[in-house]
Amino acid sequence: MTLKGLGLLLILLGLLIFTPKANAAFPDKPIKVVVYTGPGGLIDISARKFAGIASKYVDVNFVVENKPGAGGIVALKKVIQAPADGYNLYACTKSNIAKFVQVGGEGYLDALHWTAMLMADPECVITNRKLAIHEWPDIVENALAIPGDQTWVGPAAGGLDHVTALKIWDKYGIDAKWIPFKSGGKALAALLGEQGVAYVGNPRDALGNPDLFIAAVSAPERLEAFPEVPTFTELGMSGLENEFMWRGFALKQGTPHEVVEWYDDLFKKVTADEDWISFWSKGGLDVTYIAEPEFSKLVQEDAEVFEYYLKKSDILPGDAVGILAKMATGSQFIILSVILLLVWLSGSYGVYRSNYSDILGRFMIIGFFLVVSILFLVQSMNFPTSSAVGPAAVPRLWITMLIPLNILLMIKTFRKKDGVAESGPRVDIVLSFIGFLIVYLFVMQVFGYFLSTFAFIIVGLYYLGYRNWRNTIIIASSWILFSYVVFYKTLYVPLPLGMLFENLF
Amino acid sequence: MELLSNLGDGLAFVMGVIPILTITLGVAMGIVAGATPGLSPSMGVALLVPFTYAMSPTLALILLVAIYIAANYGGSITAVTINAPGTPSSVVTAFDGYPLTKKGKPGLALGVSLVASTVGGIIGTLILIFFSGPLANFALKFHPAEYFALAIFGLTTVASLGGKNWIKAFIAAMFGLLLNTIGIDPISGVSRFTFGLSFLYDGFALIPALIGLFALSEIFKQLEGGDFSTRAVDAGKQEWPTAKAYWKLKTTIMRSSFMGTIIGIFPGAGATIAAFISYDVAKRVSKTPEEFGHGSMEGVAAAEGANSSSVGGALIPLLTLGIPGSASTAVLIGALMIHDLTPGPQLFISNPDIIYGLLASLLLANVILLVLGFFGSRLWIKVTTIPKTVLFPLIFAVSIIGSFAVRNSFFDVAACLAFGVFGWLLRRYNYPVAPIILGMVLGNIAETNFIRANMMGGWTVFFTRPLSLGMLVVAAASFAVPFIQARKQKQ
């Protein structure tokens, strides 16, 4: 590459980093639609479809950003940690509310301004047509005949579908088992495989497979798309006519009034849009539009219902009982961690000072595994133990294998039956690089990905003894350009621009 | 035969200019996505879904499936060249692929991995075409007890992975299993070992762990060695496998392809377990087991044949039952729904053109993969000729951006770095790091199905179901055999 090419690269680079900002009324920069799942799910599709249709009405760029993790908490934190300026729109579902309740985030509900609920799908019970028991009255009769033994399958415990099942059981006085699967699809496979008799979810889940039978739907009246499916009301049970999943959008609480009005206006237009309506009705989904304050009220009610049923099914943590369990909570656990860490360090130091310095590393690693095992074991004392194989069972199983294996290894090590370590002469280079990487990550917070990476590559090359400056600059610039074009622009990976630039421009 | 005539129609459709171009585009993008650490096949597919809104449903599906197939292969490229498996399943490819590169023969590994991938992909597709019905019904009968037994079977591969260092291998596997329990318990919904930190609710993501334990620890190790002034390979004279070498691998590739397809069928088991088990079996039946882990072409073939053929397997429950067998196929379901198609047995009746177009395109995509991969390999191999002084900082940069891209989170970047340092320390003291990944992959399957089976049928269910009992017995035997052999050799 010539010097001219190099110059061009640098200019491009400069343009990328220093994007000018104009001063105007809301919105004057792209709006981020924050989605709490990875790309491809229904909420992601909703967000993208909304972004596409909304940009017909307003001259603004909507960027869908996927922030998956912790059932929506990660995305929520992103929204509520940003300023309340309306540039972060949180795409949420009723399942988020269950998660907020579960992690004890009362504050989470109030941190958001529930702007618009755009979709509501009724919940239903799906059964397997191949089984003799598949009509709703038969399911109930069977459940009452074998208390505690009827098996229902569905997605994650504590989610909307589980709570809906709990509510149905409550109404009918049923005592059944809920076997949670990783996803609704896998639960349906179990239903088809005759491992359970009922599944709770969306009526659309039953499409495509003639063996799946919708036994009852929780809606005020029969659904247009499924006219043959009876409602719970028709089946003689009241109080189950309005269990539904919703999807909608929320802003951070405290967003200026005029910004909220701007959104209200936009949601009105989008929900009335032909394209929007036809897109969702094709999939058998009901579009609706509920704004503040009705939406907030609905969310509060949902939260109360979730809390009631999650407490009832032992998912919400109870109070610690016993010394070890108490130790597992709060400051006592931190004290224990520090003590174990000190024991580990002093033990390692003692070995280092003795004649066994060659086994220092081995001892440290064995000690690390033992310390982690003990800390985890203590923590596991605090888990609810409602059933025989509760959440503590399997971690304890791994721990009880980890501890003896490490003790066995320790004995072998002291008997010098362990192999030779594969060490090299230049630990200093490794330590320097670890240092560089840590500094790089901190610098990135301030100066952003592009500048800090540029610097990191140059420092790295120089430190390893590469002295061709022209090539060094070319390599660093090409990497920046590549990561900008491929990751930032094409794949929408929101590489951090750094506090400095985000506040400056 | 209605099946064959339908398939003929499908083939006739994909032989058009536009389908071929679409597949080629998909394969090219998939290879790049797979080869980039941090971009998994499912992400590659998911990211492309929005672009397919405007396409016809068949073309959209063809594109997505081509990406899926190619991304599964693409992961092996970085596994071979820089010991950075692009996908979890290509961890196993790195076992022997990277040692071949270190010996200066990356061409052998790249060639074998491409051919094994293609053959595996085609075998998987053929099984999908001809036996999907009965196999899907078999998969449905798979009880949680059997999933648990399968996971335990996968774990027993640690015994032979570890070899002499079996205690350390088991410690690593147990540590991986324990790490996997961090986060919200999928069965009870209780949060475990999160210490109230919200970024731990989902536990550690697999990809940052993968990049850290493999790619970063490898660089740290080489940095420690102090020898990084040289080039790994001379670009001029590269050695590629001969036709005879490929022919010698035929049984390994066929066996691993069948195993990969079968294991791929079970929703959630997938490519990674398939690759581990197939590698383990290949090592046991091999005439030269001592070469495994030090650059065995058989090892590369076993790993790649299995993980590529698992694509065909994963599509079986998707197409016949509407149930996703892997993360990528879950995204495909979303894509089908966008195009107003409901996956499931009804699709064969309502839209046979789409199904058979898709099946035909799978065959074609594998052929195109072979062609693109053939020329691509000549290009990838150049990576190994970059001076290490330049390569190392760039691998750090790839690792950082790759681990960030998984969930757009700094926590993952920090985790990747921590895994890197930890992996380096472990490898210094002869701990194999692959069992940690195996533990992280299998932990969830083992635990959730163990508890599910217990909830459904109590403790005895593992031994009263014949299939589960049989699998546990085989697992116990395969666990014990290496020790018995070792003892016999001593005597």
Burial class of residue B354 (count of CB atoms within 10 Å of its CB; 0-12, 13-18, 19+): buried
A390 and A444 in a single domain? The answer is no
| CB of B246 less than 8 A from some CB of A | no
- Best mutation target among A209, A374, A379, A383 (most B Cβ atoms within 10 Å) is A209
List CB contacts (< 8 A) between A471 and chain B.
Answer: 390
| CB of A186 less than 8 A from some CB of B | yes
- Between the alpha carbon of residue A430 and those of residues A247, A423, A459, A464, the distances in Å are 49, 12, 14, 11
B242 contact partners, CB below 8 Å, separation of at least 6: none
CA atoms within 13 A on the CB side of A154: 27
Q: What is the pLDDT of residue B122?
A: 95
Does residue A19 carry a pLDDT above 50? Answer: no
Q: Let me know how many helices (H) and strands (E) chain B has, helices first.
A: 22, 2
Query: What mean pLDDT is predicted for residues B5-33?
Result: 87
* Three-state DSSP class for residue A157: coil
Query: What mean pLDDT is predicted for residues B10-28?
Result: 88
| CB of B22 less than 8 A from some CB of A | no
Pairwise CB contact (< 8 Å): A40 & B335:
yes
| CB of A68 less than 8 A from some CB of B | yes
Pairwise CB contact (< 8 Å): B192 & A40:
no
List CB contacts (< 8 A) between A101 and chain B.
Answer: none
**Considering the domain boundaries, does residue A228 fall inside one?**
yes
A46 and A65 in a single domain? The answer is yes
DSSP labels, A294-341 = HHHHHHHHHHHHHHHHHHHTT-S-----SHHHHHTSHHHHHHHHHHHH
> Across-strand partners of A231?
A217
Q: What band does B134 get if pLDDT is binned at 50, 70 and 90? A: confident
Does residue A503 carry a pLDDT above 50? Answer: yes
| CB of B349 less than 8 A from some CB of A | no
**Considering the domain boundaries, does residue A11 fall inside one?**
no
List CB contacts (< 8 A) between B427 and chain A.
Answer: 422
Q: Which of A292, A312, A332 is the last residue of a domain?
A: A312
Pairwise CB contact (< 8 Å): A437 & B396:
yes
Which among B143, B167, B226 is the nearest to A429, CB-wise? B226
pLDDT in tens, A353-395: 555 556 677 888 888 899 889 888 888 877 766 555 677 888 8
| CB of B290 less than 8 A from some CB of A | no
Give the lowest-confidence range in A199-203, A237-241, A328-332. Answer: A328-332
pLDDT in tens, A44-64: 778 888 888 888 888 887 877
List CB contacts (< 8 A) between B317 and chain A.
Answer: 189
A188 and A85 in a single domain? The answer is no
Return d(Cα B160, Cα B153) in angstroms, integer.
12
Pairwise CB contact (< 8 Å): B178 & A383:
no
Q: Is the peptide bond before A27 cis (omega within 30 degrees of 0)?
A: yes
Which among B343, B390, B417 is the nearest to A461, CB-wise? B390
Strands A212-217 and A287-291: unpaired
**Considering the domain boundaries, does residue A21 fall inside one?**
no
A354 and A395 in a single domain? The answer is yes
Does residue A256 carry a pLDDT above 50? Answer: yes
A154 and A257 in a single domain? The answer is no
Q: In what order do the strands lie in the sheet with A198-201?
A: A177-180, A151-154, A198-201, A124-128, A212-217
A114 and A249 in a single domain? The answer is yes
- Taking alpha carbons only, the member of A423, A398, A309 closest to residue B172 is A398
A232 and A250 in a single domain? The answer is no
Q: Which of A312, A338, A357 is the last residue of a domain?
A: A312
List CB contacts (< 8 A) between A402 and chain B.
Answer: 171, 174-175, 178
Pairwise CB contact (< 8 Å): A180 & B390:
no
Does residue A321 carry a pLDDT above 60? Answer: no
Pairwise CB contact (< 8 Å): B448 & A376:
no
Give the lowest-confidence range in A13-22, B117-126, B171-180, B208-217. Answer: A13-22
How many residues does the structure list for chain B? 491
List CB contacts (< 8 A) between B198 and chain A.
Answer: 70, 73-74, 77, 103
Does residue B180 carry a pLDDT above 70? Answer: yes
| CB of A337 less than 8 A from some CB of B | no
Query: What mean pLDDT is predicted for residues B270-298?
Result: 89
Which among B223, B335, B342 is the nearest to A426, CB-wise? B223
* Three-state DSSP class for residue A168: helix
**Shortest Cα distance from B7 to chain A (angstroms)?**
22
Which among B50, B189, B448 is the nearest to A182, CB-wise? B448
Domain that residue A342 falls in: 323-414
How many CB atoms lie under 10 A from the CB of residue B251? 12
Return d(Cα A222, Cα A161) in angstroms, integer.
20
Q: Which of A312, A331, A361 is the last residue of a domain?
A: A312
| CB of A340 less than 8 A from some CB of B | no
Which among A317, A398, A418 is the nearest to B190, CB-wise? A317
pTM, rounded to two decimals: 0.82
pLDDT in tens, A73-110: 778 888 887 777 888 889 888 888 887 887 765 678 78
Pairwise CB contact (< 8 Å): B178 & A395:
yes
**Considering the domain boundaries, does residue A178 fall inside one?**
yes
Does residue B193 carry a pLDDT above 70? Answer: yes
> What backbone phi and psi angles, to 5 degrees, belong to A400?
-70, -15
- Best mutation target among A130, A434, A462 (most B Cβ atoms within 10 Å) is A434
**Shortest Cα distance from B347 to chain A (angstroms)?**
7
Residue B272 · residue B441 · CB < 8 Å: yes
Higher pLDDT, A72 or A199: A199
Does residue A197 carry a pLDDT above 90? Answer: yes
Q: Which long-range contacts (CB under 8 A, 24 or more apart) does A429-432 make?
A: A429/A463, A429/B223, A429/B224, A429/B226, A430/B220, A430/B223, A430/B224, A430/B424, A432/A463
Which among B45, B171, B450 is the nearest to A405, CB-wise? B171
Which among A68, A408, A457 is the nearest to B393, CB-wise? A457
Pairwise CB contact (< 8 Å): A283 & B189:
no
Does residue B239 carry a pLDDT above 50? Answer: yes
A196 and A237 in a single domain? The answer is yes
Residue B342 · residue B336 · CB < 8 Å: yes
A182 contact partners, CB below 8 Å, separation of at least 6: A155, A156, B186, B268, B444, B448
> Across-strand partners of A244?
A122
User: Residue A198 is part of a domain; what is its CATH number?
Assistant: 3.40.190.10
> Across-strand partners of A91?
A35, A249
Residue of B nearest to A209 (CA): B344
Residue B204 · residue B444 · CB < 8 Å: no
**Considering the domain boundaries, does residue A5 fall inside one?**
no
- Best mutation target among B45, B175, B190 (most A Cβ atoms within 10 Å) is B190
| CB of B230 less than 8 A from some CB of A | no
Residue B168 one-letter amino acid: K
**Considering the domain boundaries, does residue A298 fall inside one?**
yes
Higher pLDDT, B368 or B55: B368
Give the lowest-confidence range in A18-27, A30-39, A275-284, B81-90. Answer: A18-27
Query: What mean pLDDT is predicted for residues A298-305?
Result: 85
CA angle, B214 then B118 then B86, to 5°? 20
| CB of A287 less than 8 A from some CB of B | no
Which among B192, B338, B426 is the nearest to A45, CB-wise? B338
Residue A251 · residue A86 · CB < 8 Å: yes
- Taking alpha carbons only, the member of A493, A492, A35, A31 closest to residue A249 is A35
A292 and A228 in a single domain? The answer is no
Q: What is the pLDDT of residue A459?
A: 93
pLDDT in tens, A109-146: 788 888 888 888 888 999 999 999 999 999 999 999 99
- How many Cβ pairs within 8 Å bridge chains A and B? 299
Q: What band does A282 get if pLDDT is binned at 50, 70 and 90? A: low
**Considering the domain boundaries, does residue A232 fall inside one?**
yes
How many CB atoms lie under 10 A from the CB of residue A397? 18
| CB of B152 less than 8 A from some CB of A | no
Return d(Cα B360, Cα A89) in angstroms, integer.
42
- Percentage of chain A lying above the pLDDT 90 cut: 17
User: Residue A43 is part of a domain; what is its CATH number?
Assistant: 3.40.190.150
Strands A177-180 and A151-154: parallel
Residue A171 · residue A216 · CB < 8 Å: no
**Considering the domain boundaries, does residue A421 fall inside one?**
no
Which among A207, A310, A393 is the nearest to B342, CB-wise? A207
- Best mutation target among A179, A359, A481 (most B Cβ atoms within 10 Å) is A179
How many CB atoms lie under 10 A from the CB of residue A131? 17
Query: What mean pLDDT is predicted for residues A444-466?
Result: 91
List CB contacts (< 8 A) between B438 and chain A.
Answer: none
Pairwise CB contact (< 8 Å): B221 & A438:
no
Burial class of residue B436 (count of CB atoms within 10 Å of its CB; 0-12, 13-18, 19+): buried
Return d(Cα B386, Cα B377) in angstroms, integer.
15
The total number of structural domains that make up chain A? 4
Q: What is the pLDDT of residue A33?
A: 87
Q: What is the pLDDT of residue A6?
A: 62
- Between the alpha carbon of residue B170 and those of residues B19, B363, B439, the distances in Å are 48, 40, 10
Q: What band does B29 get if pLDDT is binned at 50, 70 and 90? A: confident
Radius of gyration, CA atoms only, chain B: 22
* Three-state DSSP class for residue A34: strand
